[in-house]
Structure 1
């Protein structure tokens, strides 16, 4: 069986293939991907979320994986309640071992979510090739309280090719304070691990639910 990698993740074609890949990758993801690729996106999203002054209340970490984004939030001093949501139960199990979360929620973010009432929603690395597109925006907004702060990363190519600009424009008065900034997904170490993706960029989008 081929070892899971970024190219395989980008080639996923639906929730079943996503579950299979991350079931195989969960035990080695933090080392084989996050550390070896100098994966900086979770820290970038965490910093953007905190810079925007989130309101008090629980936060939902969407596509939480093994907990890298919430670990970055904790490292920056955030002490609020965070729940983890991911399609992969195996990845959630790894996240749960880190003691970062109140609840672990296995769910498909493109469908109505089994949780709500969040004052903040964060997401790193889920709006990307082979994963999730604009169809997840409505379920996430439904899970958020009025005034909730969002900080979402969206792969640059996916932003352009999957119509995220028009999708956000279509939200109109449902959101306020939309802002975005381009960041590098990986650090310099990625050049030696996967030069094809080492210079990939993402948009970090912040806004509030009206």
Structure 2
């Protein structure tokens, strides 16, 4: 899909300056709430592709049916839920996000069973009670300005044996902190697998965004990874 680079630059600045500008995680969460009403429009303008990719992978590997339960961690405005419904998923979806403003948009879509506001920290348990999900998906969450990489470990306490966990991350390492974070995330995943809790079933390289203003040529996509794991 061809994108309007002028609109894309405005949207990029909205995301990386207006929303992700604060230097604390709590500040970023507050900015997400403040700008929630504009989020979907701007994300569309930069070709935010990874939610659609993740939904397709979830339908491919998740063995999901009408009785299935999926948890969307970092649900935001409910884009992943929307993609899953458009692919024909009929089961339940719960969502969890730190931003109350984003969750209000997700609620308005009427696609989710439960929506929970929770700010994820490195040692937290997901606030979903004793529900064991058939799949957990977390898109656009794992970055150094959002959550600790170790949060991924908590997912496997809330997914059934044989269930699928899908997480995404940008593979463009634009700063030292990006490189260190990706290494930390890969280490956390390796630890999960080495402990026998899960195995990697797919590593799917995709376009994270349709543009890339981190690079010299913004018309080229910003690469991303969807990592798919199955709990043992």
Post-superposition offset of 1:89: 0.9
Q: 1:178 to 1:159 in 2, by over 3 A?
A: farther
Partner residue, 2:50 = 41
Could you tell me how far apart the structure 2 residues matched to 1:25 and 1:183 are? 27
Partner residue, 1:19 = 29
Could you tell me how far apart the structure 2 residues matched to 1:26 and 1:208 are? 32
Post-superposition offset of 1:181: 1.8
Could you tell me how far apart the structure 1 residues matched to 2:62 and 2:188 are? 25
Q: 1:19 to 1:164 in 2, by over 3 A?
A: closer
Matches within 5 A, 1:141-180: 141-156=156-171, 157=173, 160-162=179-181, 163-171=184-192, 172=194, 173-180=196-203
Q: Relative contact order (C-alpha < 8 Å, sep 6+): which is higher?
A: 1
Could you tell me how far apart the structure 2 residues matched to 1:200 and 1:18 are? 22
Could you tell me how far apart the structure 2 residues matched to 1:7 and 1:139 are? 28
Q: Please say if 1:206 is aligned against 2:228.
A: yes
Unaligned 5+ runs, structure 2: 1-10
Partner residue, 1:7 = 16
Q: Pick the structure with greater CA Rg.
A: 2
Structure 1 vs Structure 2 CA RMSD: 2.2
Mapped contact 1:86–1:108 kept (Cα < 8 A) = yes
The count of corresponding residues between Structure 1 and Structure 2 is 202
Q: Secondary structure at the match of 1:154?
A: strand
Unaligned 5+ runs, structure 1: none
Could you tell me how far apart the structure 2 residues matched to 1:64 and 1:128 are? 15
Mapped contact 2:107–2:115 kept (Cα < 8 A) = yes
Could you tell me how far apart the structure 2 residues matched to 1:12 and 1:35 are? 23
Q: Secondary structure at the match of 1:16?
A: helix
List 4+ stretches of structure 1 deviating above 4 A. 9-12
Partner residue, 2:204 = 181
Q: TM-score, normalised by structure 2?
A: 0.79
